[in-house]
Amino acid sequence: MTTPTLELIKLRKSYGDFVAVDDVSLAVPPGTIFGLLGPNGAGKTTSIRMIMDIIAPDTGEVRFAGRRRTRADLENIGYLPEERGLYRKMTVVEHLAFLGELHGVAAGEAKTRARAWLERLEIGDRAERKVEELSKGQQQKVQIAGTLLHEPEVVILDEPFSGLDPINQGLFKDLLAEYKGQGRTILFSTHVMEQAERLCDHIALISRGRVILEGELSEIKRRHGGNAYRLRAEGDLSRLGEVAGVAQVVHDPDAADRARLFLAEDADPARVLADLVSFLAVRDFHSEEPELGEIFVKVVGESEAGIADDAAARGSAAENNATEEVRHAV
């Protein structure tokens, strides 16, 4: 079995009564792009800060290459935090060279790498400008260059696409794919499922500080697929919701003859198709993988329902105990 590049083992972090991260465990395989996904406030940034030793967990452990992470390991990680920080009065090339030197790159080599990265990110003509003179998107590119300049084996990015327009998002995605192609490992957090779906090999979904789903993306899609079907047919598609076994219908706003059907878990697709052809001229009916956003909504909903059931059960138990105590007192 391959040793994970990064591993979180039952990490927990609370602030007073608020539990930000609740026994989070996950493993990041080497040479992959791993997405740490979830809504804002789910615990993604807190988890990353514990990986980077910015804050200490209450309990749990961070492991790097199969052993407990040390401060020295952090030198081999490129980190782009959610809260961006730049030395605004320095020139762009001075700023990047300084960051490189902080990570052990010799001064001359750091400047050479800085200029190469600026060319790679299409802002080579801004090398001698002060950081404060750059646009927000250009400053974001400088921060990306600073994260990668010392050629780390592991890259951790917290909401990395924030501040980038669609063109530069595409440039950055190509860069991450190139970095992965070199055998390096990338962990990035986002609340935008479409980004993760295009980039990630593995994911962990976090909700309310807990990992509710983790694994290889293709396997997760297979596991949660099977009930989504594409339909192309002629006839009265408004009747689709009447078909036994069809749990949900999503009509295509751009094509009146197309719809997406979500079948109930116990539905027989062949039986559904037989019912469909009884009143439609079916041209196509095939299963498809669900989108990651749909999986997230489904799994989060199930998780929230489970939490509510647990809370109700605890409340019922407490009420029963109180009633029993009153009965004995009387």
Is pLDDT at 37 greater than 90 in this prediction? yes
> 210 in the Ramachandran plot: left (φ > 0), alpha (ψ -120 to 50) or beta?
beta
pLDDT tens-digit series, residues 254-309: 999 999 998 988 899 999 999 999 999 999 999 887 788 888 887 887 877 655 45
- Domains (ranges, CATH) in the chain? 6-220 (3.40.50.300), 226-287 (3.30.70.100)
Amino acid of residue 176:
L
Is pLDDT at 13 greater than 90 in this prediction? yes
Identify which has the larger pLDDT, 170 or 29.
29
Helix (H) or strand (E) holding 316: helix 292-329
Write out the E strands in the chain.
Answer: 6-15, 18-28, 33-37, 59-64, 67-68, 77-80, 154-158, 185-190, 202-207, 210-216, 228-235, 246-251, 258-263, 280-287
Residue 18 pLDDT: 95
Is pLDDT at 321 greater than 80 in this prediction? no
Residue 327 pLDDT: 46
Helix (H) or strand (E) holding 44: helix 44-51
What does the mean pLDDT of the chain come to? 88
Say how far apart CA 49 and CA 93 lie, in whole Å: 27
Is pLDDT at 312 greater than 70 in this prediction? no
Copy the structure tokens of residue 138.
Answer: 């250009």
Is pLDDT at 214 greater than 80 in this prediction? yes
Task: Lay out the sheet containing 67-68: strands in order across.
Answer: 18-28, 6-15, 59-64, 67-68
Could you tell me how far CA 198 lies from the centroid of its own chain?
11
Is pLDDT at 319 greater than 90 in this prediction? no
Say how far apart CA 154 and CA 76 lie, in whole Å: 7
Q: Report residue 162's pLDDT band, with 50, 70 and 90 as the boundaries.
A: confident
Amino acid of residue 257:
D
Is pLDDT at 116 greater than 70 in this prediction? yes
Say how far apart CA 37 and CA 205 lie, in whole Å: 5
Phi, psi (degrees; rounded to nearest 5) at 133:
-85, -10
Identify which has the larger pLDDT, 3 or 329.
3
Say how far apart CA 231 and CA 236 lie, in whole Å: 13
What SS3 class is residue 263? Answer: strand
Phi, psi (degrees; rounded to nearest 5) at 236:
-90, 90
From the CB of residue 247, how many other CB atoms can be counted at a distance below 10 Å? 12
Burial class (CB in 10 A: 0-12, 13-18, 19+), 53: middle
